[in-house]
Homo-oligomer: A and B are copies of this chain.
Amino acid sequence: MAETNLQVLLRRRPKGAPVPEDFEIVETKLPEPAEGEVLVRARYLSLDPYMRGRMSEAKSYAKPVELGAVMEGQTAGEVVASRAPGFTPGDTVLGGFGWQRFSCVSPARLFKIDPKEAPLSASLGVLGMPGLTAWVGLEDIGRPKAGETMVVSAASGAVGQVVGQLGKIRGCKVIGIAGGPEKCRFVTEELGFDACIDHRGDLNAQLDAACPEGIDIYWENVGGAVQAAVFPRFRDFGRMVMCGVISQYNTVEGADSFGGAPGPNLGAVVRKRLHIQGFIVSDNGWPRYPQFRREMLGHMAAGKMKWREDVVQGLRNAPTAFIGLLQGANFGKLVVQID
């Protein structure tokens, strides 16, 4: 193979919002798989908000990417060479590593997938980590029941799209929150949510209108002002599935980059018997990936699970795309198609 690898490295740690100079793009030698490893050629790279945490040295649930190292991320592609049992060249796989064209990975978290089931990029979105996040969070924490009212923030995003549609499949009334009329229209007209609130407008008035009965389940992707508007509207026994707080990820380093302590007290949690639980899909999600994928493929075949992707061409454009993701510039699950 005369090909070279193309990699995006972390050059320096961002102060606040990342800028292109925080990244470095390099061409390097094609890596060689060690015994027990698989060499994967990535066709798509998933870009996700959690990556902002990996760029920071602040204490979090995972180690930061080291300076000069390849940016962390999941890819889908095909096996080029294998020194691990069960994988052969040509296999389509989910689970390649990093913002790079080629990676050598251990097969522990490599899932062989059937390319005929769905477009490959879907395995990074609706059928990938964001979809699995939606599914696990609803199964374990949201526990939607027919007739309940569910509010989903970042509703047109990778996780939000799936959350809301799963809520509809379970018989909930589902209200999305998204940025701008185009995203809101997509959420209601394409995804079939019952309504969608534009967070650039008056949140309180729109929530009053959309869910006068209150909120049973809130899927939290954003934090900040949206959370503050939603929280007092919880009904008794409400559940807040805390998946992320993207509005806080670019807060200045040194402070708790996830927003720090709560307000002075959470008294309403007692009165309403609220259940608030944070989760990270990597804790216990992946062993359930086969079950998740089977169920989701069924929903897709039945026309009950749509998805929208925002596909950026070329790995060299990954940094700019990622910077936009943190500002809500993407529309749908952001993936990079690797040339």
Interface residue? A205 (CB, 8 A): no
In whole angstroms, what is the CA distance A260 to B232 when docked? Answer: 7
Interface-located stretch among A28-36, A74-82, A262-270, A321-329 = A262-270
Known pairs A272-B278, A274-B277; A242 contacts B260 (CB<8 A): no
- Which residue of B231, B270, B275, B278 is within 8 Å of A280 (Cβ)? B270
Contact between B277 and A283 (Cβ–Cβ < 8 Å)?
no
Measured between C-beta atoms, what is the minimum distance from A231 to chain B in Å?
5
Measured between C-beta atoms, what is the minimum distance from A312 to chain B in Å?
26
Contact between B277 and A225 (Cβ–Cβ < 8 Å)?
no
Give residues in A with beta carbon < 8 Å to B.
60-61, 220, 223-225, 227-228, 231-232, 236, 242-245, 247-248, 256, 258-280, 283
Contact between A268 and B264 (Cβ–Cβ < 8 Å)?
no
Contact between B232 and A256 (Cβ–Cβ < 8 Å)?
yes
In whole angstroms, what is the CA distance A52 to B234 when docked? Answer: 22
Contact between B271 and A279 (Cβ–Cβ < 8 Å)?
no
Which residues on B sit within 8 Å (CB–CB) of A272?
A: 61, 278
New A-B contacts (20) at CB < 8 Å, excluding given A242-B269, A259-B267, A268-B278: A61-B272, A61-B273, A220-B270, A223-B264, A228-B262, A242-B270, A256-B267, A256-B268, A258-B267, A259-B265, A260-B268, A261-B268, A263-B263, A269-B277, A270-B279, A273-B277, A273-B279, A275-B276, A276-B277, A277-B277
Contact between A262 and B258 (Cβ–Cβ < 8 Å)?
no
Which residues on B sit within 8 Å (CB–CB) of A271?
A: 60-61, 258, 278
Contact between A244 and B264 (Cβ–Cβ < 8 Å)?
no
In whole angstroms, what is the CA distance A277 to B269 when docked? Answer: 7
- Which residue of B224, B227, B247, B265 is within 8 Å of A245 (Cβ)? B265
List the 10 closest A-B pairs by CB distance, nearest first: A263-B263, A259-B267, A258-B267, A223-B265, A270-B278, A269-B278, A276-B276, A245-B267, A259-B265, A262-B262
| Complex A-B: 15 CB contacts under 8 Å | A60-B271, A225-B264, A228-B262, A258-B268, A258-B270, A258-B271, A259-B265, A261-B268, A262-B265, A262-B268, A266-B278, A271-B278, A273-B278, A273-B279, A274-B277
Which residues on B sit within 8 Å (CB–CB) of A280?
A: 270, 273
Which residues on B sit within 8 Å (CB–CB) of A258?
A: 267-268, 270-271
